[in-house]
Structure formats: structure tokens, C-alpha cells
Structure 1
Amino acid sequence: MIAVAVLTDHIRDLDTGAVAALTTPELACIADDLAEQKASLNLVEDKLRAALDLKYGARAAQRRAEEAKDTGTVRFEDNGFVVVADLPKRVKWDQAKLRHAAEIIRASWGDDPDAYIKTKLEVSEAAFAHWPKPLRDVFLPARTVETGKPSYRIETAGEAERSAGRSEPHAA
């Protein structure tokens, strides 16, 4: 039996028709090679993400504390580069506690809870942030704030100035 050794590099310059004309074993070999490359790339990406978090996580947390925020994007300089550190916010709502909050609004306040709660019993984070404190306090037991995976981007100073103009203000 002859071993088939066709790798993704072999098809880089082929058009789709030429790739489709390959034998099934060749296509299987390419698919296997691609899966191995993806797994290897994911491993490298995970290591880089962990290394960036190890290197910059404390500075990013300090910058967020200085800016009085728990999540979001912060910027700081390192050796002539600007590190953009993002810690996304993920809010989850406890469905049973939201139902309880809805009943309080309906029974005790005589108000329609549908004005505050979506049908799926989700609460808009933007709306929650603007509610009066007594209303937020009713919903707080149902709310859990988690963070996503931190991400980092390293930009040259010129790139940082251009991207800062598009999004959040530049923090030195």
C-alpha cells in the first residue's frame, strides 16, 4: 500500500477545480494535515494569550483600577509600543430571581415588569446601568457579572494614535 503525503502547502496555488480533482485519499490527507495545523496554531495562540496575560495582566488590572472600571479596554505603553488590553464583560441573569423581581414589580409596585424585563427574562445591561438605585437593587440578586478571556494587541505608536481616534481615548 502506498502512503499518500499531500499537505496543505501542496494545494495553496491550486484552483478549486484542481483540488476537487484530487483523489479521496489525497483530500483526506489534506484534511488531516489542516486539522493538525489548526490544533498546533490553537496551542500556540493559547500559549501566547497566556504569556501576554502573565506579562501584562497586572498592569492592565492596575490601569482599569486607575480608570475605576472592572472590565473593558485600557491602553499603556511598553518599550515604544502601546498595549491594548481588553477584558470583556459577560453578564448572566438568574432566571428564577428575575421572575421573582418581576413579581415584586407587578404585585408590590403595580407596574408592568415587561417594561424592564425581556420576554426571555434578560435585562439590557445598558438599561440596568441607568435605572434608579431602588430598581437596580431589586434585580441585583439575579445578576452575575463574569469576565471573558483577556485579549491583548500590540500596536506601534502610530497605529495606537489612529485606533485611539476611532474608539476609546488614548491612555498614556
Structure 2
Amino acid sequence: MPHPDNAPRFDDLERFALGDIAALPPDMLLDLQTTSHTETARVKRLRDRLEAGIAQRYEAAAATERAAQGKTSGTVRVEDEGVVIVADLPKKVSWDQDRLAVMAERIRAAGDDPTEYLEIAYRVPELRYGAWPAAMREGFADARSETTGKPVFRLEARVR
């Protein structure tokens, strides 16, 4: 939709009062809203591209640091020319629902309450699993798988 020369541009909205924006003709509001969606998508593409470049630069160093710390996931810090890179690789755990159902029946058959160990939806909270005795964890090991999420890198200025 063509803009009249005196029509507000998207970047002008910062200096407008909300009442002034509300008073704009509907076709201008539609045009500004369309522009806002286009700009949001553009900024997201640019941010995704930037984050991919940061990941490309630092994921090997983060993996090396994570390995040095004996970690397969979690947060590590590496430094590059005075900038601290906080690299987080979240852990994602999933459970085999059929195997958990079998384990729930075994617990019930043994006279115990499976809800002391399992949630009804056959999910096992990771903190609870980690607190179980080794024998209990071993029985559930085949139903559990662990993956990682999308790595996140946050850049911070080093405090001197």
C-alpha cells in the first residue's frame, strides 16, 4: 500500500502517543502493523544468523571445555579476547513410556506404590531419578534416553 508523504512510518511510532496511534486511519494502522510483522521477521532472521555465527565460532571451544569438565551437557565458560562466552547445552531426557508402564506394574506387584517413583503420565523427574538407589536406577535405565537441546551462547564483558 503506497504511503502518502505525510503518513507516519513504522520508525516514527516511538514518538507518538498511544492516542495518536489509535486515531490513525485503519488503512494506516494496517500498513504499520504489516510493516511491524515484516520487521519482526527480518530481525528474527538476522538474530538467528548472528546466533548461528556465534555458535560456529564457539561450539568447538565449548565442547572442549565441557569435555575437560567431564560434562555432556550444561553450562561452561570460555574466554576470547576479554569476552566471556557462557555456553549452555541443555540436557533433555525422555522416557520410554511402554517400559515405564512395565516398571510401574512390577512396583505395584511387589506391593509398593508406583506413584512414589513415577508420575502418572510415566515421566520420571530427573532429580528424583538421580536420588534413587543404583539398583532402582538400573532397572529403569533401558526406558531412559538423554539428548541435548539447542546450544545457547551469551556474550559478557569480562569484569576486570
**Alignment TM-score > 0.5, same fold:** yes
Deviation, 1:119, is 2.0
Distance 1:115 1:134 in 2: 16
Letter in 2 for 1:151: V
Matched, 1:52 2:41: no
Size of the aligned set, in residue pairs, is 157
Percent identity between the two aligned chains = 39
Matched, 1:41 2:40: no
Deviation, 1:6, is 4.3
Show the 5 A alignment for 1:28-107: 28-107=30-109
Distance 1:99 1:7, change over 3 A: farther
What is the CA deviation profile of residues 78-133 of structure 1, one whole-angstrom value per residue up to 9, with x for unaligned ones?
A: 111111101111222222221111112222x3321110011222211111112112
Letter in 2 for 1:110: G
Gaps in structure 2 of 5+ consecutive residues: none
Deviation, 1:50, is 1.1
Partner SS for 1:82? strand
Where does residue 2 of structure 2 map in the other structure? 3
Root-mean-square deviation over aligned CA pairs: 1.7
Letter in 2 for 1:157: R
Gaps in structure 1 of 5+ consecutive residues: 162-172
Contact 1:74 1:85 in 2 (8 A): yes
Distance 1:7 1:132 in 2: 64
TM-score, normalised via structure 1 length = 0.84
Deviation, 1:42, is 1.0
Where does residue 17 of structure 2 map in the other structure? 15
